[in-house]
Copies of this chain bind each other. A is one copy, B any other.
Amino acid sequence: MILIDYKDSRPIYEQVVDKFRLLILNGVLNKDDKMPSVRALAMELSINPNTIQRAYNELERQGCIYTVKGRGNFISDPESLKEEYRREIFGKLDDVCDLADKAGIGPEELTAHIEVRSSAGTESENRQGDKDNGTDKGKEGEQS
Contact = CB atoms under 8 A, between A and B. Distances in A.
Interface of A: 6-7, 9-12, 14, 17-18, 21-22, 25-26, 58, 61-63, 66-71, 74, 76, 82, 85-86, 88-100, 102-107, 110-111, 113-115, 117-118, 123-124, 127, 129, 131, 133-140, 142
Nearest to A105: B89
Q: Work out how many copies of this chain go into the complex.
A: 4
Given A135-B88, A137-B138, A94 B67 contact: no
Interface centre among A69, A70, A85, A99 (most CB of B within 10 A): A99
A111 to B, nearest CB: 4
Given A62-B134, A88-B136, A138-B138, 20 more contacts: A9-B67, A11-B69, A12-B68, A14-B134, A14-B135, A17-B134, A18-B135, A25-B104, A26-B102, A58-B134, A63-B129, A86-B105, A88-B135, A89-B100, A91-B124, A93-B96, A96-B96, A98-B142, A107-B117, A136-B138
